[in-house]
Amino acid sequence: MVRAAVLPAVDSPLVLTEIDLPAPGPGQVRVRLAAAGVCHSDLSLSNGTLRQPVPAVLGHEGAGTVVAVGEGVERLREGDRVVLNWAPACGSCHFCTRLGEPWLCPHANEGTAVPYARDAEGGDLYPGLSTAAFAEETVVPERAVLPLPDGVPLQDAALLGCALLTGYGAVHHSVRLRAGESVAVFGVGGVGLAVIQSARLAGAERLFAVDVSPEKEELALAAGATDYLLSSERTPKEIRQLTDGLGVDAAVECAGRAATIRAAWGSTRRGGRTTVVGIGGKEERVEFSALEIFHFARTLTGCVYGDCVPERDLPLLAEHVREGRLDLGALVTDRITLDGIPDAFEAMLAGRGGRALVVL
């Protein structure tokens, strides 16, 4: 039995309880979690914005130590330090092979719908985003685990599994930001801070951070932003005024809201790139006129998991962390226990803080 934060039903409070976690089966590994980040995607799963069978153990951004391996596991052994991969590509579908876009693999989250543990009464429990990291331990497929390179603190390494891969990938794979370009980042949460750090690493000359909370200015500037703006209807106009009337070369939206997507688009120069990282609800509608699409010639694109290949990108990110070019600890504004996850959800809803990290 292990302690876990269970979501009994959609849009209901989490319940901290004991669950029965089985031994790993063929091709599976059991991981003792050291830490798990509280991501906005977990909130979206809990409130029904994203589909998730329930009851479930949420949490998908995690790191820990392998404590047992099932039959047929060859890549990992007990004692290995690992990062969870919440979107493990199958490696054989059209997206994985012919297109070379494993981040779009339609099979990556099939494990979400398969029970992985039982509650105290013997009922089925489902793993949030296939990983169930809001628990002392979890059992996942071998392909959902990435070896953690040496020299990275195990607790902070949890952020590599989502915030850093997503933020870094948005900048380097989707936006493809070039040295000397300008960028605006809308939403300064955990992913937004990772985007700022990554844009600074890419050599952004002017880096605007935009958020509704004045409390996040210090975080944004420490991460590398050159300017901090409180979000308002005037934000696109302000950014254009500060860029000689042009707008930024690229904008990255990390909130998943129609208004901020529209503001990011309006802050981007003619011919620039607007990338949407945030996950919005299906009721959020963004409108553009046919004329403005022609006139501005901007590119608007979505970005899933930073368009990353985790097996390729994680070692590179770890090297940046070891050399001090990326600071995982700077993304964390609160270190909490499993009991503190509901408060972390409330903080996200209120627009407070960066990343809360559950320390186990």
pLDDT (tens digit per residue) in 60-73: 999 999 999 999 99
Provide the CATH topology of domain 2-148+328-359: Quinone Oxidoreductase; Chain A, domain 1 (3.90.180)
Q: Provide CATH 3.90.180.10 ranges for the chain.
A: 2-148+328-359
Distance CA 197, CA 167 (A): 8
- pTM of the shown model: 0.95
What CA dihedral angle connects 113, 279, 46 and 27, to 10 degrees?
30
pLDDT on residue 281: 86
pLDDT on residue 349: 87
Q: Provide CATH 3.40.50.720 ranges for the chain.
A: 164-304
pLDDT on residue 353: 82
pLDDT on residue 292: 95
The predicted-structure confidence for 145-161, as pLDDT tens digits, reads as follows 999 999 999 999 999 99
Provide the CATH topology of domain 164-304: Rossmann fold (3.40.50)
Distance CA 347, CA 62 (A): 20
| Residues in the chain where the model's pLDDT stays below 50 | none
